[in-house]
Amino acid sequence: MKTTLHISICVAILWVAMSFTGDLKSKKNNGSPVSISFEHFVGNEILKLDSANYKNALGQTFTISKFKYYVSNFHFKNSAGKDVTIGGSFLINEDEEETKKILLAKIPEGNYTSMDFIIGVDSLHNCSGAQSGALDPVNAMYWAWNTGYIFLKLEGQAATSLSPGHFFEYHIGGYKQPTNCIRKISFDLSKSESITKEIKIKVNVLEILKTPSAIDFSKLSSVTDLKNATVIADNYKDMFELISDEK
Amino acid sequence: MKNKIVYTLFILIAVFALCNSFVIENPYFKISKKDVKLKIPKGFPKPNYNFKKNKLSPDIFVLGRKLFYDNLLSKDHSVSCASCHQRIAAFAHIDHKLSHGIYAKIGTRNVPALQNLIWKDAYMWDGGVTSFEMQPINPITSPIEMDESLANVILKLQANKEYVKLFKKAYKDTLINSERILKALAQFTGLMITANSRYDKYMQKKDTFSLAEKNGLQLFRTKCASCHKEPLFTDNSYRNNGIKMDSSLNDFGRGRLTEIEKDYQLFKVPGLRNIEMTYPYMHDGRFKKLKDVIEHYSNTANHSEKADTLVSRIGSLSAQQKKELLSFLLTLTDKEFLYDRRFADPAMLQ
């Protein structure tokens, strides 16, 4: 008797729950979620932390032990000139596989011609006080003594580095002029025929060390200051490349 | 005999119950809704931090108070916020030039008072911290202050039944994260508002000043008030006040932060409320007494090449002027704030 009662209660709850999600679906069925994968490369090789040896533009050998960065404020434009903005920040961390594929909220069907986002965290969210999620300071991407988020961390070892242990460490951040390290990244999606569902972006770490300023590990092995940060920021501006967008 | 045991037991239980109620439900430490209401003092400008995204509540305030007084925030449970921010000194570190943090390590700067914080636009002597809520991350994670990580603080709090209860009471569920910790501390420290000194009462015509105090105020307004602007007694700017850099500390002040040459050796203009209790003075605590500070502005600062023009134009003061200025500065002491029961440590019986 008791069991029957329990089962019927469960069924009732399930039925209510299902009807509720069904209701949600019917109301919001005017778009699909878009996923964006960030695939980390060094040149043409897939990035491997600690184990693989790479060479920079000056032929200096190095390994990478840490690579993480913020991407924020995704924005899409469709052929009718309509804008869709999805705010918020995502922390992409090579060491945590699940962070490398992000799911943006549903965006309405349409012919999207362009997409842009920023690398970093915008000034508003740099000054918004205590936050949780990607912007929780517990993620160790926050400068306490000089308020603001670290936009990108690249760390590793290079034999030519003169730092103790031959380490190199680039911590890049800063949202105030003239040392603003936020960079806007834009992609042309005009070849897309319908809604873009899965976007794959190649992220080439080598670009951070290459253009316009080729980084010499023997001269610059640690960046936490503002002036050198902008040099690296100008370099990381072109590390993203759209490799596919499935429709 | 049996009666005696029962009688003794009864007395013991009664005493225990009384003690218990005294410790836990002592009305002195009880925080009501009224206690956490934000009242902007008369004549004060609009605060920069307004609790809009951190709604004031007695339970969150009580949580913040417990965190503020808890050694658990430091790596080896040796220091709390209150170790260096003492209530009687308007939450500065009384009689300490530079403070000692964890492992008896000595810092490089004098502890600033915690008062009227929500009117500031930046924190620390160099203004490096622009977010009021995020400020406590500095002392918690600094290797010479508390040397602890936020992640570890969260783990320690999650393992502590009393805190789990307090978080649940404050936030309606048991989630413990940095946002909640920081917001609770912001409620406790943000309400540290001082505006009931004799100066305030004089301004509201509820009290009178002696002749010396009146002259002191007059002098203050002509010589000091352009930087120490009333009613907060700071214009929130950064200036060189003419003290020579201590080469053992090599503190470049705001310059370290902005990397701009003109910002080297600039420090934030501190508010002067409760200055009687916040000794020693200056960013490195070099002056023991208020009369040393006045002597500096009247004398050495005038000869400093790097001093701000507003400092170097003060000029030398007569012995009488110095006395009058001092009497005025002492009117900035706010005993109601210094003894405000809301900010007392409930673990200490008063």
- In this prediction, residues B211-217 reach a mean pLDDT of 98
Q: Which of A129, A137, A147 sits opposite B150 (nearest CB)?
A: A137
Q: Where are the domains of chain A?
A: 32-246
- Confidence band for A26, pLDDT divided at 50, 70 and 90: very low
Kindly state whether B78 is in contact with chain A, defined as any CB-CB distance less than 8 angstroms.
no
**B-chain residues near A144 (CB < 8 A):** 129, 134, 137-138, 141-142
pLDDT (0 to 100) of residue B349: 56
Q: How far is CA B333 from CA B51, B196, B278, in A?
A: 26, 8, 10
Instruction: Give residue B347's pLDDT.
Output: 85
What are the chain A neighbours of B150 within 8 Å (beta carbons)?
137-138
Average pLDDT estimate for B133-158: 96
**Interface contact flag, A129 B151, Cβ < 8 Å:** no
Question: What percentage of chain A's residues is helix, strand, coil (to nearest 5)?
Answer: 25, 40, 35
The domain ranges of chain B are 42-193, 198-333
> Chain A partners of B179 at a C-beta cutoff of 8 Å?
130-132, 136
Q: What is the pLDDT confidence band of residue A197, given thresholds at 50, 70 and 90? A: confident
- Tell me what pLDDT residue A17 has: 44
Per the CB < 8 Å rule, is B131 touching A128? yes
What percent of chain A has pLDDT above 90? 69
- Average pLDDT along chain B: 93
Q: d(Cα B308, Cα B305) in Å, to the nearest integer?
A: 9
Task: Point out the least confidently predicted range of A137-141, A169-173, B5-9, B234-238.
Answer: B5-9
Task: Tell me, yes or no, if the two domains B42-193 and B198-333 fold the same way.
Answer: yes
Dist. CA A59–CA B314, nearest whole Å: 61
The domain B198-333 having CATH identifier 2.40.128.20: the answer here is no
Q: Do A132 and B178 touch (CB under 8 A)?
A: yes
Residue A8, min C-alpha distance to chain B (Å)? 30
Beta bridge partners of A200: A37, A244
Mutate to test the interface with A, among B51, B134, B157, B254 (most CBs of A within 10 A): B134
Return the SS3 of A18. helix
Inform me whether the pLDDT recorded for A103 exceeds 50: yes
pLDDT tens column, A7-24: 555 445 444 444 443 333
**Interface-testing mutation among B108, B123, B179, B181, with chain A (most A C-beta atoms within 10 A):** B179
Q: Please tell me the distance in Å from A49's CA to the nearest CA on chain B.
A: 24
**Predicted confidence band of residue A31 (pLDDT cuts 50, 70, 90):** confident
CA–CA separation, B229 and B232 (whole Å): 6
Q: How many CA atoms lie within 13 A of B60 on its CB side?
A: 24
Interface residues on A facing B, Cβ-Cβ cutoff 8 A: 127-132, 136-138, 142, 144-147, 225-227
What is the residue-averaged pLDDT of chain A?
87
Confidence of residue B27 (pLDDT cuts 50, 70, 90): confident
Q: Name the 3-class secondary structure at A15.
A: helix
Contact of B158 with chain A, judged by CB distance below 8 Å, is answered with no
**Residues of chain B contacting residue A129, judged by C-beta atoms under 8 Å apart:** 53-54, 131-134, 182-183, 186
Our CA-based measurement puts residue A163 at a distance from the nearest CA of chain B, in whole angstroms, of 21
pLDDT of residue A108: 80
Q: What is the structure's pLDDT at A14?
A: 46
- For B316-342, what is each residue's pLDDT tens digit? 999 999 999 999 999 999 999 999 999
B 289-348 residues with CB < 8 A to A: none
**What's the pLDDT tens digit per position in B229-244?**
999 999 999 999 999 9
B290–chain A nearest CA distance, Å: 29
DSSP A207-247: GGGTSSS---TTT--EE-SHHHHHHHHHHHTT-EEEEEEE-
Distance from CA of B174 to the nearest CA of A (A): 15
Is the pLDDT at B101 greater than 50? The verdict is: yes
pLDDT score of B23 more than 60: no
Nearest to B133 among A130, A136, A142 (CB): A130
**Under CATH, which number does the domain B42-193 receive?**
1.10.760.10
Give the chain A residue whose CA is nearest to the CA of B180: A130
Q: Which residue has the tokens 């420090």?
A: B267
Cβ–Cβ of A130/B151 closer than 8 Å? no
**A144/B178 Cβ within 8 A:** no
Whether residue A129 and residue B177 make contact (CB cut-off 8 A), yes or no, is: no
ipTM exceeding the 0.90 mark? no
Q: Do A144 and B138 touch (CB under 8 A)?
A: yes
Asked if A90 contacts A71 with a C-beta cutoff of 8 angstroms, the reply is yes
Q: Is the pTM of this model over 0.80?
A: yes
Least Cα distance to A117 among A70, A38, A174, A184 occurs for A184
Question: What's the gap in Å between the CA of A138 and the closest CA on chain B?
Answer: 6
Does the pLDDT at position B150 exceed 50?
A: yes
What residues of chain A lie within 8 A of the CB of B151, using their CB?
138
Pick from B132, B178, B259: which is nearest to A136 by CB? Answer: B178
B128 lies within 8 A of chain A by CB? yes
Interface of B with A in 35-54 (CB under 8 A): 53-54
Please indicate whether, in this complex, the C-beta atoms of A130 and B138 are within 8 angstroms of each other: no
